[in-house]
Structure 1
């Protein structure tokens, strides 16, 4: 499939897939059409067997600067509910995507852009990146998962400061508070993203998927239910090619050849 506001690039050899929002003149702001395209592209990436998925924004200025304010300004409550549900579907699809997802935060990431990044497994920011849950200054709050995912990532008080004050932080501060896992010099950003995505894609796919499912379950229920899921996921990997190959390679002191 092809879309007007995003691209999906699949490397069939490595399994590294890149989904790029391509509205640089609008700082990659998320319209309804763009969100629907992302939803479709995620399903296509999964069907193509993506082993690592990078989410990026086109141009030099923004990752995703937020939702489309010109669309939101006159929304009724029912219309806003439908828009929120679409944003949640996209974020949930990212969070549950079967392969590791990486937000490549280069430039502005505000509002819905932050929420898109929060739904990814890993976040890498360029030094010049600027991030913020800035909705409060529009008279609203984060509506695509930010009130929930941000607190789990950075802690309650830090999340409340970011949301209540609409603070904007740079890449270094984002790394310091745990919003992103890594901050990279601007000149080395693309190279580091390629390196990380390739490393993730080279890991055994079944084990990585099971690990993601178990790690995500931490937030979905009690520790007891999470531990039960972990046991099932762990034991279910035995007998797979990657489990046999990984352990044989370790014993034979060689590099594994995963499927």
Structure 2
């Protein structure tokens, strides 16, 4: 892979975006590599949680503008670059974003595709597309509004001004803010915590929360209830409840 650095720590897969000379700008080849690697980790039973990160200076400073500057409406339509992003929505394993520095435009949209977010104190999060005469196209107007509400999203989207990590925490856009030297280790620790949980239940929880964002309360409650019942067919449910009654740690197998 040209634009990623990948490693595995026990049951945690770690993906680092690697275009440091351009602040990890998201071009089509990088996104292709990223989605393919996420799908590989999805198939790997030894991986139960995924950490996605960049570097201290930038998680991702946006889309690669040079790649798009001379495009027209028809070429963008035919290219359909956001089809790669749609594939990310099919990943069922929990993804934890570890972000620092610039998290702008496509970088913010990529962060919001993740399930939990650990940010360094230096993080600046924004959707500055309006300054380029365009608007977000990978979910920026939709996910940001659902996560922080219309009024705050409007300000970020219409001014293009970024918010700080502290503001993002206050708005509910990130889970934790830590010193820059600890943001990645904190995210990896969080991933290990989740990886120790029953993976089938974790997948169903993730899907249930996604449905809660995308559908009605009645539809979400119906899915949740059926998923709850279905988990009683798993070996992990038997092990988890038996371990609880025997007052010992559970050994979840993902079955």
Could you tell me how far apart the structure 2 residues matched to 1:18 and 1:93 are? 19
Correspondence list, 1:220-259, <5 A:
220-259=214-253
Q: Quick check: 1:102 aligned with 2:100?
A: no
Residue number in structure 2 paired with 1:76: 72
Alignment match, 2:178: 184
How far off is 1:82 after superposition? Answer: 4.5
Cα distance in 2 for partners of 1:173, 1:144 equals 23
Provide the secondary structure at the position in 1 that maps to 2:13.
Answer: strand
Q: What residue in structure 2 maps to residue 86 of structure 1?
A: 81
2:189 and 2:219 mapped to 1: Cα distance? 35
Q: After superposition, what is the alpha-carbon deviation per residue over 1:69-116, rounded to whole angstroms, capped at 9, x for unaligned? A: 011111110222355x433532x3333311111111111110000000
Unaligned runs of at least 5 residues, structure 2: none
Shift of 1:38: 1.1
TM-score by length of 2: 0.94
Does 1:199 pair with 2:193? Answer: yes
Q: CA contact under 8 A between 1:88 and 1:145: conserved in structure 2? A: no
**How far apart, in 2, do the equivalents of 1:63 and 1:123 lie?**
12
**Match of residue 115 from structure 1:** 109
Aligned length: 252
Using the TM superposition, give the Cα deviation of residue 60 of structure 1 relative to its aligned residue in structure 2, in angstroms.
Answer: 2.9
Query: TM-score, normalization: structure 1?
Result: 0.93
Partner of 1:55: 52
Partners of 1:155 and 1:180 lie apart in 2 by 14
Aligned equivalents of 2:19, 2:26: Cα separation in 1:
9
Shift of 1:252: 1.0
